[in-house]
Amino acid sequence: MVEKNIIVVGSGFGGLAAAALLGRNGYQVTVIEKNEQVGGRASVWKKDGFVFDMGPSWYLMPDVFEKFFAEFGKKPTDYMDLVRLDPAYRVFFSTHDSVDISKNLQKNLDLFETLEPGAKEKMKEYLEKSQYEYDIAMRDFIYKDYKHLTDFFKPKLIVEGTKLHMFEKLDSYAKRYFHSEKIRQILEYTIVFLGGSPYDSPALYSLMSHVDFNLGVWFPKGGIGQLVHAMFTLAKEQGVSFVLNEPVKKIQISQAKATGVITEKKTYDADSVIVNADYAWADTHLIEKKYQSYSNHYWEKRKIAPSAYLLFLGLDKPIKKFVHHNLYFHPQWGQHFDDIFKKCQWPKSFSYYVSCISKTDPMAAPKGCENVFVLVPVAPGLEDTDDIREIYFNKTIDHMEKLAGENIRDHIIVKRIFAHNDFSQRYNAYKGTALGLAHTLKQTAIFRPRHQSKKVKNLYFTGHYNHPGIGVPMVIISSQILADVIKNR
């Protein structure tokens, strides 16, 4: 019997991409989403004229989006306006010391030279290697499904892996090039996008510098919500149906075969089921124990990626010293990584990120106002109470006021705090993680949870727990890999 009818549980980027690809491949696809809108972590919250992207705000790796839309004979710009940001972002090292990373590489090289004599030439070399790593990784590692250890431990891949610095840590790799801590911070901060720490993630991820400096930082006009809308429209064009506001309660499995899903309202029959909902949560909550791919103990032992303490703030005035993307690096930033990855506690002192998309997109805030999104990376699984939220709200605003050199607190007209409990309640996030499964060497490629269930042949998973991992481009690739797995089964 030809299997035609596929249910996708969850409409994050993983669910949207899988649905669009399988719809194009001729399947009848229904996406069932627990929330009131599609997009998952990339939900949009509107309040009093402010339009907040609730999750991702950096549109990186434009080549991945090009490649995905090309599968449908389309371009991302058929669905949205993209602008390359300049400056790409502003880095604050202290209240009186900041630098801008430009879209112009030459300017950045000159900047590095001012931070460390000789750094210009070293950066050229670093970037050449970074581009090489990116190209090889994209060609040989990333767009691949890993089912067996032998898929990964091929002599060719081990040789390539060594060349790609797979077995060295990012921080020690960057130290071989640069003495300047400021430069290393600029080169290493992108690992936080991948839910990792520079002290524990493979130096392979120095490829992110090619992403950052060469491919550039982009912004879809209207916000990342426009990318969600583009993928949703694309999926509907492939005949995909969507059901919102219906949490799936159970995946029905009979004799090791998935037969459908049960929601609060009804039962949906299916020939195959794809889970885009949080892998760890779904494996342990939606699937009968004997059919779980991994044990509860396995999930307990995983290195879960950070959660995030988020502020969505509407201000009645612009913040002059901030640009679209702003990063503050605390002088003891290693301690912040320790608090996240080793001590697993609320950070004593912290680096943070502030995005003001209203600098680029006036529609994101009422006239004369600022749309402000603040992100403090924090350990997953922490106690999240109203008191703690208020303490961190005050700490963050106090510091932002010092950075900005102006009063912020009295100009807040919209305020929402979003942290662990919200990630758990809104997205069923395991331990309240914002990002899924961290990128350590032991959680790379074959060592990430598999796309195909270990016990149920027609049950699949896609999203930020799978290979290749965290971030919108990676999650889209995860679904491209999955669509091939299903096509070739």
Tell me how far, at minimum, the Cβ of 220 lies from ligand FAD, in Å.
12
Residue from the set 432, 449, 468, 471 that interacts with ligand FAD by CB under 6 A: 471
What part of residues 111-140 is at the interface with ligand FAD (CB under 6 A)?
none
Interaction of residue 18 with ligand FAD, rule CB under 6 A: no
Single residue of 464, 467, 480, 483 touching ligand FAD by CB under 6 A:
464
Write the CB contacts of 438 (distance below 8 Å, at least 6 apart in sequence).
Answer: 194, 195, 196, 302, 303, 304, 305, 306, 341, 470
In this structure, are residues 31 and 13 in contact, taking their beta carbons and an 8 Å threshold?
A: no
Residue 216: left if φ>0, alpha if ψ -120 to 50, beta else—which one?
left
CB under 6 A: which stretch of 38-46, 136-144, 331-339, 407-415 binds ligand FAD?
38-46
- CA proximity to 293, closest of 316, 275, 309: 275
Instruction: Give the Cα separation of 210 and 216 in Å (integer).
Output: 8
- Least distance in angstroms from the C-beta of 373 to ligand FAD: 8
Whether omega before 468 lies within 30 degrees of 0, making that bond cis, reads: yes
Min separation Cβ 114 and ligand FAD, Å: 28
Of the candidate residues 192, 397, 434, 456, the single one contacting ligand FAD (CB under 6 A): 434
Task: Determine how β-strand 44-47 pairs with β-strand 50-53.
Answer: antiparallel
Edge-to-edge strands, sheet with 97-101: 97-101, 89-94, 325-328, 352-355, 370-378, 307-315, 412-418
Q: Which of 34, 169, 359, 451 binds ligand FAD (CB under 6 A)?
A: 34
Q: What minimum distance in Å lies between the beta carbon of 479 and ligand FAD?
A: 8
**Helices 181-188 and 170-177, axial angle in degrees (round to 10):** 140
Shortest distance, position 3 Cβ to ligand FAD, whole Å = 21
Instruction: Give me the phi and psi of 101, to 5 degrees please.
Output: -95, 120
Sequence-distant (≥ 6) Cβ neighbours of residue 408 within 8 angstroms? 313, 315, 319, 397, 400, 401
Please give the angle made by the CA atoms of 362, 367 and 373, to the nearest 5 degrees.
60
Residue pointed to by tokens 């879209």: 103
For 104, residues 6+ apart whose C-beta sits below 8 A from its C-beta are 86
State the binding string over 51-90 for ligand FAD (x if CB under 6 A, else -).
----xxxx-x------------------------------
User: Binding mask 260-279 vs ligand FAD (x if CB under 6 A, - otherwise)?
Assistant: ----------------xxx-
Among residues 7, 20, 33, 323, the one that binds ligand FAD under rule CB under 6 A: 33
Which of 42, 123 has the CB closer to ligand FAD?
Answer: 42
Using the contact rule CB under 6 A, the part of the chain among 13-21, 95-103, 110-118, 211-219 near ligand FAD is 13-21
Among 174, 227, 234, 248, binds ligand FAD (CB under 6 A): 248
What's the DSSP call for residue 450? Answer: P
13 lies in the site for ligand FAD, by CB under 6 A: yes
Which of 397, 472 has the CB closer to ligand FAD?
Answer: 472
Which pair of tokens denotes residue 56?
């991702």
* Separation CA 489–CA 478 (nearest Å): 16
User: Per CB under 6 A, does 11 bind ligand FAD?
Assistant: yes
Nearer to ligand FAD, 271 or 278 (CB): 278
Question: Is residue 468 a contact point for ligand FAD (CB under 6 A)?
Answer: no
> For residue 418, what is the DSSP state?
E
Q: To the nearest whole angstrom, how small is the minimum distance from the Cβ of residue 258 to ligand FAD?
A: 15
Binder of ligand FAD out of 6, 217, 375, 459 (CB under 6 A): 375
Shortest distance in whole angstroms from residue 426 CB to ligand FAD: 6
Q: Which of 22, 42, 204, 369 binds ligand FAD (CB under 6 A)?
A: 42
Q: Which residue has the tokens 């900041």?
A: 98
Helices (H) and strands (E) counted in the chain, each on its own, are 16, 19
Helix ranges (H only) for 139-265 are 149-152, 155-163, 170-177, 181-188, 207-209, 224-237
Q: Which stretch binds ligand FAD (CB under 6 A): 31-39, 72-80, 381-389, 441-449?
A: 31-39
Min dist CB 49 to ligand FAD, Å, is 22
**Is 470 among the residues that bind ligand FAD (CB under 6 A)?**
yes
* Contact range with ligand FAD by CB under 6 A, out of 50-58, 76-84, 139-147, 394-402: 50-58
Residues 454, 128 contacting (CB under 8 angstroms): no
- When the beta carbons of 408 and 435 are compared against ligand FAD, the nearer one is 435
Binding residues vs ligand FAD (CB under 6 A):
9-15, 32-35, 40-42, 55-58, 60, 193, 247-248, 276-278, 308, 310, 375, 427-428, 434-435, 463-464, 470-473, 475
